[in-house]
Amino acid sequence: MEIKADMVMKLRNKTGLSMMECKKALTEAQGDIDKAEDILRKSMKGKLDSKGDKLSGEGRVGITVGPSSATMVELRCNTDFTAKNEMFVTLTEKCAQYGLSQPAGAFVSGGDAEAALQDLRIKTGETITLARAAHVAGGAGIIFGQYVHHDGKTAALIKAEGVTAEVLRQIGMHIVAASPTPKGVVATDIPADIVEKERNFRISQAMDSGKNKEIAEKIVEGGMRKFFEELALMEQVFVLDPTKKIKDLVGAGKIHGFWRWAVGESI
């Protein structure tokens, strides 16, 4: 049958693919636009999957807070242009929303979220992936705070109780901006490997200056207190008001945990 230009244009507007690709698919589908779209989805998916080794260094982090839980997702793509596209922003939100229906913990895309992801891969020709995703369960008295930086590349999710949403938003801003980046709510939450690495480094420095190991270890234990203050969130000086520490903002409330994600960081 004759494939008219308006049919090709309609399919192009739906898929974002070239006129040539759309005309070829319509010819194969004998003018059936829905069937042609399915043909393109299958054929282009194979081509896009072959690009799996292409660098996906751009993207966006998204957060969705539900009635009793929250999700955090990171989507990656090849270009900053796509990462800023409204369709990519909407896809990020869709994947985060989908996670609320999944069990607590890490999850992968599915349902409408997966279909939307595949469609955007076809339209952009980029390697778009759900790099990581987590569903965080709440509980009695638990509230979630969030902050996503204006460019969408860094975000923080906070799980707490007895703290207002506005204060948690400010703490989220702090977590995103603070240097050094907090590694735990309190000192005992800082990962053991980070603590051990710092302690061994300081001991080595002390011994290089002529101290024996026993003396070096005693000196270092005193110095580690400063290290804990720098990396424990509650002890950090609030970036928006240096006269306060984060624990002053929290007051009688409690922060149970926080997650800080940045696009492209190693997982």
pLDDT in tens, 205-263: 778 878 877 787 777 777 787 888 889 999 999 999 999 999 999 999 999 999 999 99
The predicted structure's pLDDT at residue 226: 80
Model confidence, pTM? 0.75
Pairwise CA distance, residues 177 & 123, whole Å: 34
Segment 48-76 shows an average pLDDT of 80
CB-CB neighbours of 121 under 10 Å: 22
List the domains of the chain with CATH numbers. Answer: 5-49 (1.10.8.10), 58-163+251-262 (3.30.479.20), 191-231 (1.10.286.20)
Task: For residue 15, name the pLDDT band (cuts at 50, 70, 90).
Answer: low
Q: Exposure string (b/e) for 150-159, b if CB count within 10 Å is 16 or more?
A: eebbbbbbbb
Residue 52: other Cβ atoms inside 10 A: 9
CA distances from 128 to 28, 37, 92, 116 (A): 27, 19, 11, 11
- pLDDT on residue 33: 87
Residue 53 in this model has a pLDDT that exceeds 60: no
Least confident of 20-24, 52-56, 171-175, 237-241: 52-56
Q: Mean per-residue pLDDT for 154-169?
A: 97
User: pLDDT at residue 47 above 70?
Assistant: no
How confident is the model at residue 170, as a pLDDT?
A: 97
User: Is the Cβ–Cβ distance between 59 and 263 less than 8 Å?
Assistant: yes
Q: Which residue has the tokens 């194969």?
A: 28
Q: What is the mean pLDDT of the chain?
A: 88
Note the pLDDT of residue 200: 83
Tracing tokens 């994947």 back to the chain, one arrives at: 95
Predicted confidence at residue 13, as pLDDT, reads 65
- Report which of residues 254 and 33 the model is more confident about: 254
What is the rounded average pLDDT of the residues 69-76? 96
**pLDDT at residue 104, as a whole number:** 95
Residue 110 in tokens? 């599915």
Convert the pLDDT of each residue in 107-130 to its tens digit.
988 889 988 998 898 888 888 889
Predicted local distance difference test score (pLDDT) of residue 197: 85
Rounded to the nearest 5 degrees, what angle is found at the Cα of 113, between the Cα atoms of 112 and 114?
90
> Cα separation of 71 and 104, whole Å?
9
Please report the pLDDT score of residue 20 as a whole number. 83
CA distances from 200 to 148, 180, 249 (A): 36, 19, 33
With a pLDDT cut of 90, the percent of the chain lying above it is 54
User: Is the link from the previous residue into 67 a cis peptide, with omega within 30 of 0?
Assistant: no
